[in-house]
């Protein structure tokens, strides 16, 4: 894809959440997470690369001490359809007997979050919480749910604020959806 095609992708997309709405959602989530985990000393794991922007905005707003790390697991690999789980950066062993907060960009079908949660539990995490910027409305049950949700989005391919479309536009301050 060239620059012109990338720009056309954005120009033809539908704006779902403005930058201001996203900022308010992140601030609200930070308050909710701070209240829930105020007495913990959690390991916070950011799911790279989609959660990088969200995590960068969320962490400075959390009012408790934490240990930070990252994991990388994907089903999309710059595509718009999910495939098999691929672990690029697995969790470290510092999760044993700890409370873990997984920070991810989107809860889509729930397969990735379910796999992350199962892996952390297998590694001995005491409690696993999940915070997602966006929860996609699928109209059916998912194998995993998030404890903290920023915004709910329709069942469309969304991008911006860390989420990508064909590997592009993670840098947008708002959330968009590809044309159907």
Domain locations in the chain as residue ranges: 3-72+95-177
Q: How distant, in Å, are the alpha carbons of 16, 63, 101, 153 from that of 136? A: 12, 28, 20, 5
CATH architecture of 3-72+95-177: 3-Layer(aba) Sandwich (3.40)
Q: What is the mean pLDDT of the chain?
A: 93
Q: What is the pLDDT of residue 22?
A: 98
pLDDT in tens, 118-151: 999 999 999 999 999 999 999 999 999 999 999 9
29/74: higher pLDDT = 29
Widest pairwise Cα distance in the chain: 50
Average pLDDT over residues 3-29: 97
pLDDT in tens, 52-107: 999 999 999 999 999 999 999 876 555 555 567 878 887 888 899 999 999 999 99
Residue 108, classified by CB atoms within 10 Å of its CB into exposed (0-12), middle (13-18) or buried (19+), is: buried
Q: What is the pLDDT of residue 83?
A: 63
Its pTM stands at 0.91
Q: What is the pLDDT of residue 134?
A: 98
Q: How many CB atoms lie within 10 A of CB 176?
A: 24
In three-state secondary structure terms, 166 is: coil
């Amino acid at each position: 894809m060239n620059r012109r095609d990338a720009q056309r992708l954005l120009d033809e997309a539908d704006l779902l959440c403005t930058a201001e709405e996203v900022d308010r959602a992140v601030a609200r989530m930070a308050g909710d997470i701070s209240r829930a985990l105020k007495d913990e000393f959690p390991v916070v794991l950011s799911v790279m690369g989609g959660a990088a922007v969200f995590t960068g905005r969320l962490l400075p707003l959390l009012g408790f001490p934490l240990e930070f790390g990252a994991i990388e697991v994907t089903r999309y690999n710059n595509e718009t359809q999910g495939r098999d789980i691929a672990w690029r950066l697995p969790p470290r062993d510092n999760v044993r007997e700890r409370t873990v907060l997984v920070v991810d960009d989107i809860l889509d079908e729930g397969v990735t979050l379910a796999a992350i949660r199962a892996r952390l539990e297998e590694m001995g995490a005491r409690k696993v919480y999940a915070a997602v910027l966006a929860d996609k409305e699928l109209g059916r049950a998912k194998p995993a749910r998030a404890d903290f949700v920023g915004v709910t989005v329709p069942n469309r391919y969304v991008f911006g604020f860390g989420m990508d479309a064909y590997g592009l536009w993670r840098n947008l301050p708002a959330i968009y959806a590809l044309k159907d």
